[in-house]
Amino acid sequence: MKNTGFLLASLAASLMATSALAQDISVKIGVLNDRSGIYSDITGEGSVIAAQLAVEDFGTDKGIAVEIVSADHQNKPDVGSNVARQWYDTENVDMIADVPTSSVALAIHEITREKNKVHVNSGAASSDLTGSACSPNTVHWTYDTWALANGTGGAMVAAGGDSWFFVTADYAFGHALERDTTAMVEKSGGTVLGGVRTPFPGQDFSSFLLQAQSSGAKVIGLANAGGDTINSIKQASEFGITQGGQSLAGLLMFVNDVHSLGLDVAQGLVLTESFYWDLNDQTREWSTRFEEKTGNKPSMIQAGVYAGTLHYLKAVEALGSKDDGAAVVAKMKELKTDDPLFGQGEVREDGRKVHDMYLFRVKTPDQSEGPWDYYETVSTIPAAEAFRPLADGGCSLVQ
Amino acid sequence: MFELLGIPPQALFGQLLLGLINGSFYAILSLGLAIIFGLLNIINFTHGAQYMLGAFVAWMLLTYFGVPYWGALLLAPVLVGIKGVIIERLLISRLYHLDHLYGLLLTFGLALIIQGLLRNQYGISGLPYAIPPQLSGGQNLGFMFLPNYRAWVVVASLVVCLATWFVIEKTRLGAYLRAATENPTLVGAFGINVPRMITLTYGFGVALAAFAGVLAAPIYAVNPNMGADLIIVVFAVVVIGGMGSILGAIVTGFGLGLVEGLTKVFYPEASSVIIFVIMAIVLLVKPAGLFGRTA
Amino acid sequence: MTAVTETETTGIAVQQARAGMPLHHVAIFVALLAAGLVAPFLLYPVFLMKVLCFALFACAFNLLLGYGGLLSFGHAAYFGSASYIAAHAAKVWGLSPELAILSGTLAAAVLGLAIGSLAIRRQGIYFAMVTLAFAQMVFFFSLQAPFTGGEDGIQAVPRGNLFGLLSLRSDFTLYFVVLAITLGGLLLIYRIIHSPFGQVLKAIRENEPRAVSLGYRVNRYKLAVFVLSATLAGLAGSTKALVFQLASLTDVHWSMSGEVVLMTLIGGMGTVFGPIVGAAIIVTMQNYLATFGAWVTIIQGCIFVVCVMLFREGIVGVIAKWIRKPL
């Protein structure tokens, strides 16, 4: 569970003697994610590198020495909670970052509260983290099911896609995504004609897609993730679903999924993300640094790990202490966030980080100017509207 | 227009056809598994990994050597088959005198290694593999849109399955094989090199899996896990058909594809478990499987 | 001829069993107890508890495979469903930990009885497939049933107070409870193996038709050992649910059934202490190799291959051969 750890302590420590900031805090950050399974490309080692970049950019001259460790939770809550306990109990880890897969994230979330440490989640989708299960020790950074549903669901209805059929992965995450999107579609005046629950993980979606096709819905919402999404999109193109006038909405898709599908198949898809490498000069510059180390452009999750880690370190610096997890998170909420990737924003009372979300459309092969040039921005959803209103989440921290 | 259990008949036709297409993968895979089990008495748990390897080799041939789909359809099974032969010679051949359990564990271990290595190399998101241009597009059958490629999958697998069945049941070579299954010593005494025959059979079974992999590459994402869960299902197909029964494997493969297709309409959540329910019932009622001979 | 010698050895073993444990087994049990008492001062208690739970699970499995000669490919069903029931009992019904564990264990026993009575009608690979089929159904049920929480599992299970008195919140306290449960389970398994019942089991394993002709009702014995094994697997599963405060789909997935086979094989099937060693090795590996991602699968695969090719008796089996004493 050690390794990949790297120490910037020595330099900082040697400077300490002369530094006016005689704080001398050493912080240990654990990046816990999927390093071998379906989310290893969008999280994995890339998230570790993102965290390292955050430490570099935070600077070594502030009297805070940072060590980073990492581990694989294999998308299993038991493996993840085991690692988290061990990190907190025996290895003095102060903050756990990333944690994709909602079931694992909820487990880490609970343990972090119990041990009064800090969890900055970037990878998981569950909006419960800042809703019914919210905790004073967790910040949920990048996205959640509500924001995705709001972005894609709302935009599709506004664009005329007012009747929906869901192809939903049959597990809690898929159900949550379907639930949130249904609410959004109906709120915007659309109707949901039906849905089908598909065994997870699945290979062949043709049968379900055919059911979706015969429903006559204008939009087929894919409430699934990873390999399921890739397979359903691939097969939808094979069966000529989009040519038939129906559109596909990938409710949780990442730029890496588009990369894997290829533009031939993925073109025209509409999806919601909170980050894209080609948004502005700052994101481009950072993504180039990231690509030099990993060979890939960053996913929004990896970007979230960077930004979350940076903000965490700023809070520790401002507080002058790392020991009380709840206090650090309170400080994170008090300080406005500002980083090159998500711009300015804030962490809300319920732990939800809010920033703009973007609705993207995947380019056609002709429009694309080269590798990783995949998205055109359809619209920007301002931070204030992008996430679930504070009062609706049912979070006990909100008075 | 009459409806069948609330589903219009056209939709039902479409679903059955799709079931048949999925069944063709089950059929080729379970055929290979059944041949290997029949002759080697080995439960080849690497079968799923070899199927995945077939798809990967097709992708590599295209990406690194520019070999198109049709070339890969021939080359990939041969390459993966050769790899199978090497594994059989080096490892599996040392286990024939032992309990099934050891063969199963060895091949399970091999599957983990192959999957792990490819995962390290190529990640998990999957690699794109396009449908060959000759087979893109599709036919409108009135009740559904049938992609040409899917039609080709059914035809190709039917031809391969029937040819294999013919060779094993109706030719001299097949007669030797079947005899060697019954009594290797006696067949050896007739001057036939039984160990070599066994090795080649294993290679052939593996090549069948790789063939299915190449067929699957354009429809499913080519990723290291594509065979991991399939193996359990295919294994169930073999058991239902009757271990070692060639015809049983083929018929059950297609048949279970159909049953699964129907489940996807009426109770989609259960479509991954229906095969095991059938397996339990078959084993309890007719232990040797639908087409197996009772020992 | 062989039949006679077999019954003779069985007879001798029965006498031995009555006379008590052979000295070196007593020594090993004492050593295990001592190690168990010292370990939490040196190593992380939660990790040790995981080792203990899996050791008990593997030993329960070994009772069926190593002594009953029955390869179940669905043991995760008992382990996992017990952990769900125990977690549900502790969290929703608010039962105290000992009652939660008891209800989980009982559930596993009932499930074992139901599945076992069907599965034992088949032999060899067919038996394995029947158990696999039912385990897949249990998995499906666990995924669909509302109380299991889908893939989130049942989380934040309270550890509660043992007998309403002793708080188990501290890992340290809980550790000794788990140690007691595991050692108790091991002693029970040891007792079963070396009882006349265990000897009959061995006779069935070696040659079923002969056991039938000797007048034993083979199926009753098989069913009994199946239920015992399922029950003990359930005990391990319930305990694990309290340790990790979590019951999840991992526990009922077929790869868990594969893992327990691996543990038993590495340690040495048909040995009393082998599965403990096997469980310790696998759990340690998973724990300390977690950083390496995909390499864990590769290393695990290599261990499988090496074990099957070179150490079919398993580690403890090889040692037993060296010292020429059964372990």
User: What pTM was computed for the model?
Assistant: 0.86
Domain ranges of chain A: 9-143+280-351, 147-273+357-383
Q: Establish if C325 belongs to a structural domain.
A: no
- Residue A358 main-chain phi, psi, to 5 deg: -125, 140
pLDDT (0 to 100) of residue C293 = 61
Cα C158 to Cα A95: distance, rounded to the nearest angstrom? 24
Residue A79 near residue A73, CB atoms below 8 Å: yes
- H-type alpha helices, A35-153: 44-58, 77-90, 102-115, 145-148
User: What digits encode the pLDDT tens for the residues A310-331?
Assistant: 999 999 999 999 999 999 999 9
Q: Establish if C306 belongs to a structural domain.
A: no
| Mean pLDDT across chain B | 88
Average pLDDT over residues B251-264: 92
What is the residue range of C173's domain?
2-257
User: What digits encode the pLDDT tens for the residues A243-266?
Assistant: 788 888 889 999 988 988 888 888
A9-143+280-351 and A147-273+357-383 have identical folds: yes
Q: Pick A35 or B19 by higher pLDDT.
A: B19
Average pLDDT over residues A69-79: 87
CA angle C308, C312, C314 (to 5 degrees): 110
**B16 in contact with A, Cβ within 8 Å:** no
Which of these, B142, B94, B141, B88, lies nearest to B110 by C-alpha position?
A: B88
Positions in chain C whose pLDDT score sits under 70: 1-20, 290-294
Average pLDDT over residues B18-37: 92
Compute the half-sphere exposure of residue B217: CA atoms within 13 Å on the CB side of its CA.
31
Q: Residue C213 CB: number of other CB atoms within 10 A?
A: 10
Burial letters for C115-142: b for 16+ Cβ neighbours within 10 Å, e otherwise? bbeebbebeebbbbbbbbbbbbbbbbeb
Cα A228 to Cα B228: distance, rounded to the nearest angstrom? 15
Cα A254 to Cα A275: distance, rounded to the nearest angstrom? 10
pLDDT (0 to 100) of residue B7 = 63
Cα C158 to Cα C97: distance, rounded to the nearest angstrom? 9
Q: Which chains have 3+ CB pairs within 8 A of B? A: A, C
- What band does A5 get if pLDDT is binned at 50, 70 and 90? very low
And the tokens for C93? 């019904």
CB pairs under 8 A between B and C: 103
Q: Establish if C295 belongs to a structural domain.
A: no
- What band does A10 get if pLDDT is binned at 50, 70 and 90? very low
Residue C235 near residue C101, CB atoms below 8 Å: yes
Indicate the residue of C155, C290, C291 with minimum beta-carbon distance to A77: C155
And the tokens for A324? 């009380």
Indicate the residue of C46, C244, C290 with minimum beta-carbon distance to A71: C290
Helices vs strands, H then E, count in chain A: 15, 15
User: What digits encode the pLDDT tens for the residues B55-86?
Assistant: 999 999 999 999 999 999 999 999 999 999 99
CA angle A43, A44, A46 (to 5 degrees): 75
Cα A388 to Cα B5: distance, rounded to the nearest angstrom? 41
Select the CATH number that applies to the domain covering A9-143+280-351 from these four: 3.40.50.2300, 3.10.20.30, 3.40.50.11440, 3.10.580.10: 3.40.50.2300
Indicate the residue of A196, A203, A264 with minimum beta-carbon distance to B220: A203
Task: Label the pairing between strands A353-354 and A343-347.
Answer: antiparallel
- H-type alpha helices, chain B: 9-40, 47-65, 69-90, 100-122, 148-170, 172-182, 184-189, 194-216, 230-241, 246-266, 274-285
Q: Pick C110 or A10 by higher pLDDT.
A: C110
Cα B179 to Cα B187: distance, rounded to the nearest angstrom? 7
Start-to-end CA span in chain A (Å): 40
Average pLDDT over residues A207-220: 90
pLDDT (0 to 100) of residue A226 = 81
User: What digits encode the pLDDT tens for the residues B96-136?
Assistant: 888 877 888 899 899 989 998 998 888 776 788 888 988 88
Which residues of chain B are at the C interface, by a Cβ-Cβ cutoff of 8 Å?
43, 91, 94-95, 98, 100-102, 105-106, 108-117, 119-120, 232, 235-236, 239, 243, 269-270, 272-273, 276-277, 279-280, 283-284, 287
And the tokens for A381? 């959803």
User: What digits encode the pLDDT tens for the residues A354-384?
Assistant: 999 999 999 999 999 988 999 999 889 999 9
- Taking CA atoms, C183 is separated from C35, C50, C52, C55, C56, in Å, by 12, 14, 9, 10, 8
Question: Strand pairing partners for A32?
Answer: A71, A98
Topology of domain A147-273+357-383, per CATH? Rossmann fold (3.40.50)
Which residue type, as a one-letter code, is found at position C158? P
CA angle B64, B70, B75 (to 5 degrees): 65
Residue A8 has pLDDT above 60, yes or no: no
**At which residue do the structure tokens 């724990």 appear?**
C287
pLDDT (0 to 100) of residue C197 = 93
**So what's the ipTM on this one?**
0.83
Number of structural domains chain C divides into: 1
Dihedral sign computed on CA atoms, order A29, A35, A39, A42: positive
- What band does A23 get if pLDDT is binned at 50, 70 and 90? low
Which of these, A274, A273, A239, A243, lies nearest to A258 by C-alpha position?
A: A273
Q: Establish if C280 belongs to a structural domain.
A: no
Residue A168 has pLDDT above 90, yes or no: yes
Residue A82 near residue A105, CB atoms below 8 Å: no
From C247's Cα to the closest Cα of chain B, the distance in A is 21
Q: Establish if C265 belongs to a structural domain.
A: no
- What band does A240 get if pLDDT is binned at 50, 70 and 90? confident
In sequence order, the 6+-apart residues with CB closer than 8 A to the CB of A292 are none
Determine whether the interchain pair B21/A206 forms a contact, defined as Cβ–Cβ distance below 8 Å: yes
Residue B244 near residue B292, CB atoms below 8 Å: yes
Q: Pick C325 or A130 by higher pLDDT.
A: A130
